[in-house]
Amino acid sequence: MGQIGKQSIEFENPPYLLSSSSVVGQKESEGPLGKLFDEIVEDPMAGQGNWEEGESEFMKRAISLAIKKAGLKTEQIRYLFAGDLLGQLIATSFGVKDFEIPLFGIYGACSSAGEGLSLASMTVAAGYAKYAVVASSSHFGSAEKQFRFPLEYGNQRPLSSTWTVTGSGAFVVSKEKSDVQISGITTGKIMDYGIKDSMNMGAAMAPAAAQVIYQHLRDFGRRPEDYDHIITGDLGTIGQEILIRLLKENDYDISKQHMDCGIEIFSPEAQDTNAGGSGCACSAVTLSAMVLPAIQRGEWKRVLFVPTGALLSTVSFNEGQSVPGIAHGVLLERSDK
Amino acid sequence: MGQIGKQSIEFENPPYLLSSSSVVGQKESEGPLGKLFDEIVEDPMAGQGNWEEGESEFMKRAISLAIKKAGLKTEQIRYLFAGDLLGQLIATSFGVKDFEIPLFGIYGACSSAGEGLSLASMTVAAGYAKYAVVASSSHFGSAEKQFRFPLEYGNQRPLSSTWTVTGSGAFVVSKEKSDVQISGITTGKIMDYGIKDSMNMGAAMAPAAAQVIYQHLRDFGRRPEDYDHIITGDLGTIGQEILIRLLKENDYDISKQHMDCGIEIFSPEAQDTNAGGSGCACSAVTLSAMVLPAIQRGEWKRVLFVPTGALLSTVSFNEGQSVPGIAHGVLLERSDK
C-alpha cells in the first residue's frame, strides 16, 4: 500500500486534516503571525505552578480545542500521537493524561509534529482509527532550563541562536473529507555533520532537512517548481542558507519555494530573536495558523511540510558529542472534496 | 481493518517476528536467564567513553544482530522504531544514526518495546514496509545518573526499588512467515494513581498494566485461561501483587498466568536487586531470550506481552508531581506457518 521510492509513502486513500489548533504565549502573539493564532495565553505558566506544568496546560488546551473544532468528543479519538522536548516527555505525559486516549509517545525533537502527523496518517489511512490526534509543544522557559542556562543568569545569545516558541499545536486526522489532504509522507533519518554548537541548531538540522527534501523529490519524481512551498520547521536564517546551498549542490533549487516556520513566526529586529523561532511548537502552530488556512483558501495547492529536529541533550553535549539532526516530510494538498 | 473493542487491533493479516536479539551486561549474564542471551558485554561502557555511549553501543549491536539473524541487509529495513529512557533519547540517536534507516523515535519509558512492536506491526500489516526493526535499550549507570543518585554516592536502595537492566533488545517485524505472529495489539493510556515514590515504580505502573490487560481481555472477548502467559515488563514483586489484586477486583484472576520480566531476569537474593529488574531493556531482552523461544518451540501458544513504563523525570519529580504509568499490550501467538 503506497510505498514509493526509498523513504516515502503515497497514500492511495489519503487521510485529511479535519481540524487544527494553535495556542501560544504572549511573545508569539506579538510576532507577525500574532493575529492568526487561536488562543493567546499571556501567563507563561498558564496558571500552573511552573513552566513545565504550564507547557502541559498549553498542550491540553490545544488538544481540547482541536477536538472541539472538529465537532468531536474526546471519546471518539482512537489514538493520540504526542511529544515535546523535555526529558521523558513530561510536558506531554502531564498534558494528555486526563484525556485517557491511548497514547503513542513520540520523540523527534522539533520534528515531532512531522513524526506525529506521519504516524497518524499511516494509522488512519490503514483503517486502524477513524480519528487520531497529533500534538506537540514547547516552552521558552522549560527549554532554556532543560538545555541551556537558568533564565536568571541572563546569558548572551549568539546571533545563530533561536528562540524557543511557547505554545502547542494539535491536529485531528481522519478519513472524513476536508479541504486539506495528507497525500504522502517522507520519513527522515538521522544526519550528523558533526556540528557541536548547541547555539547553532539551524546548521545542525539543515543536512537532515536537505536529505529528506531531496529524497522526497526523487521518490515522488517532482521538481521544486511542483510545490507552492517547501516549509521547514525551525532552521532559522542560518540553517536556511545551508539548506538551500546543500540542495543546489544536488541539482535542486528551492530558493523560490522555501519558507521556514522559525523565520515566519518572529520579527528578529523587533523581538530580539536572532536567527528565528524554534521548538516543537514552532512548526506546529505555524502549520495550524498560517499554512493550513492558505491551503484551505485554495491559495496554495501543494505544500511539503518538513519539521526539523536537533537531537540535543545536555548530557551528550557535555560529553562532547555532536548535535545530529532529523526531519520528517508531510505532503499536504488542497483536496477536491 | 481490524479495530476491535475500545483499545485494540486484531490484524487480519498478522505480521511476524522474523528474528530478535538480546545484548546484555555482566550482571544480567549472571542471572537466571544468563545462558539464554545472544551476547554478553562485560565492560559496562562497551568500549566507549561513558555509560551513555556504552548504551548506544548495546543498541547498535542488538540491531545489527537482529538484522543479521533475519538474513537481511540494513538497506532492506524500511523503518526503525526505537527508544530509550534518557532525556531526548540520546542512547537511541547515537546508537542508530550510522544505520541510516528512516527513524520514528518513540518514548514510552520502559514500555517502549511494546510501543515499538505495536507501531511496527501496524506499519507492516498495512503494507507500508516489508521489514521494520524495533529496538529499545537501558543501562544501569546511565539510568541511575539520569534519575537518581551518582553511583559514587552509594545510596541505600529500598526493597521496593528495581535494578535497571543494562542491555538492548531488537526485533525484525515482517510479513514473511515465522513461528511467531503478532496477532494484535492493545494500546495503553496513561494511568495516574498519584504515586510519588520514584523508588516504587512497580506501584506506579501496576494500574496502567491492569487497565490494558483488562481492556485487552474485554476487546478480544477472552479469559485469562485462554493465555499461556500474561507477561508484564518490570512491575517487580510489589507491582505484581498490586496488578493481580486490581484485576481480581475486576473479575479477572491472572495469578496463574502472570509472569513479569523484571522478576525473571534477576535472582533478588543472590544479586541484591530488591524488587526485580527494570528499564526498557528488561522486557525487550527477556522477550527475545526467553519468551519467543518458548513460543517457537510450541510450548506456549498464546502470550500477552505487556511492557510497562513509569513516566518519571527528575524535573517533574522535584516539582512534586506524581509518577504516572503506561503499558502497551502485544498479542503473540504460535503461527501455523
Segment A81-95 mean pLDDT: 96
Report the percent of chain A where pLDDT is more than 70: 99
Our CA-based measurement puts residue A127 at a distance from the nearest CA of chain B, in whole angstroms, of 5
Which DSSP string do the residues of A131-177 spell out, in sequence order? EEEEEEEE-HHHHHHHHS--GGG-----TT--EEPPEEEEEEEESS-
At position B74, the amino acid (one-letter code) is T
- What pLDDT score was predicted for residue B269? 87
pLDDT over 60 at A48, yes or no: yes
Please say if the pLDDT value at position A1 is more than 70. no
Q: What letter would DSSP give residue B25? A: E
- Number of A/B CB contacts below 8 angstroms equals 175
Q: Phi then psi for B218, rounded to 5 degrees?
A: -65, -50
The answer to whether A189 contacts B89, with C-beta atoms less than 8 Å apart, is no
CB contact under 8 A, A326 and B50: no
Task: State whether residue B213 is helix, strand or coil.
Answer: helix
Residue B279 CA to residue B94 CA, distance in Å, equals 18
Min distance B173 CA to chain A CA atoms (Å): 17
Q: CA-CA distance, A164 to A262, in Å (whole number)?
A: 9
Q: Give the mean model confidence (pLDDT) for residues A303-329.
A: 95
d(CA B297, CA A133): 41
User: Residue B79's beta-bridge partner residues?
Assistant: B132
Three-class DSSP category at A246: helix
Judged against a pLDDT cut of 80, whether residue B1 lies above it is answered with no
Chain B residues whose CB is inside 8 A of the A128 CB are: 1-3, 9, 122, 126
The confidence score (pLDDT) of residue A152 equals 84
Residue A198, classified by CB atoms within 10 Å of its CB into exposed (0-12), middle (13-18) or buried (19+), is middle
The answer on pLDDT for B107 being more than 60 is: yes
Q: Which three cell numbers stand for residue A139?
A: 516552552
CA distance, residue B311 to nearest chain A CA (Å) = 7
Q: What is the ipTM of this complex?
A: 0.97
- Calculate the CA B191 to chain-centre distance: 18
d(CA A236, CA A242): 10
Q: Which of B9, B93, B108 sits opposite A105 (nearest CB)?
A: B108
DSSP A184: E
> Is the pLDDT assigned to residue B155 strictly greater than 90?
no
Q: Does the distance separating the beta carbons of B79 and A187 come in below 8 Å?
A: yes
Q: What is the pLDDT of residues A172-200, one digit of tens each?
A: 999 999 999 999 999 999 999 999 988 88
Distance CA B251, CA B230 (A): 16
**Nearest 5°: phi and psi at B228?**
-70, -40
Strand partners, B106: A106
Q: Report which DSSP code applies to A230.
A: E
Q: State whether B326 and A105 contact (CB < 8 Å).
A: yes
Which residues, 6 or more positions from A272, have their beta carbon under 8 angstroms from its beta carbon?
A: none
Q: Distance between CA A300 and CA A140 in Å, rounded? A: 31
Mean pLDDT of B44-54: 96
Question: What's the whole-number average pLDDT of chain A?
Answer: 96
Pick from B90, B126, B313: which is nearest to A122 by CB?
A: B126
Residue of B nearest to A94 (CA): B324
pLDDT attached to residue A58? 98
Q: Hey, is A4 helix, strand or coil?
A: strand
Interchain CB distance below 8 Å, B83 and A107? yes
Mean pLDDT of B189-212: 93
What does B69-101 look like in DSSP terms, one character per residue? HTT--GGG--EEEEE-SSGGGHHHHHHHGGG--
A16-25 vs A39-41, strand pairing mode = parallel
Residues B51/B139, Cβ–Cβ less than 8 Å:
yes
Q: Which residues from chain A sit within 8 angstroms of residue B45, using beta carbons?
A: none
Contacts of A90 in chain B (CB under 8 A): 311, 313, 315-316, 321
Task: Compute the mean pLDDT over every residue in chain B, rounded to the nearest whole number.
Answer: 96
Residues 6+ apart with CB under 8 A from A216: A7, A8, A186, A304, A329, A331
B160-171 mean pLDDT = 95
Q: How many residues does chain B have?
A: 337
Inter-residue contact B126 to B65 (CB < 8 Å): no
Nearest to A315 among B49, B86, B311 (CB): B86
Task: Taking residues B57-65, report their average pLDDT.
Answer: 98
Residues 6+ apart with CB under 8 A from B244: B253, B254, B255, B258
Asked whether the beta carbons of A114 and B116 are under 8 A apart, the reply is no
* Shortest CA gap B79–chain A (Å): 8
Among residues B69, B71, B175, the alpha carbon closest in space to that of B120 is found at: B175
Enter the C-alpha cell of residue A192. Answer: 550528523
**Residue among A104, A125, A188 minimizing CB distance to B102:** A188
pLDDT-based confidence at residue A151 (cuts at 50, 70, 90): confident
Q: Which pLDDT score, from 0 to 100, does residue B154 have? A: 84
Query: Which residues share a beta bridge with A326?
Result: A309
Residue range A161-182: average pLDDT? 97
Q: Where are the beta strands (DSSP E) in A241-301?
A: 258-260, 277-278
For cell 506546529, the residue is A284
* The Cα angle at residue B210 between residues B206 and B213, in degrees rounded to 5: 135
The residue of B104, B119, B124, B164 whose CB has the most chain A CBs within 10 angstroms, and thus the best one to mutate to test that interface, is: B104
Q: What is the SS3 string spanning A295-336?
A: HHCCCCCEEEEECEEECCCHHHHHCCCCCCEEECEEEEEECC
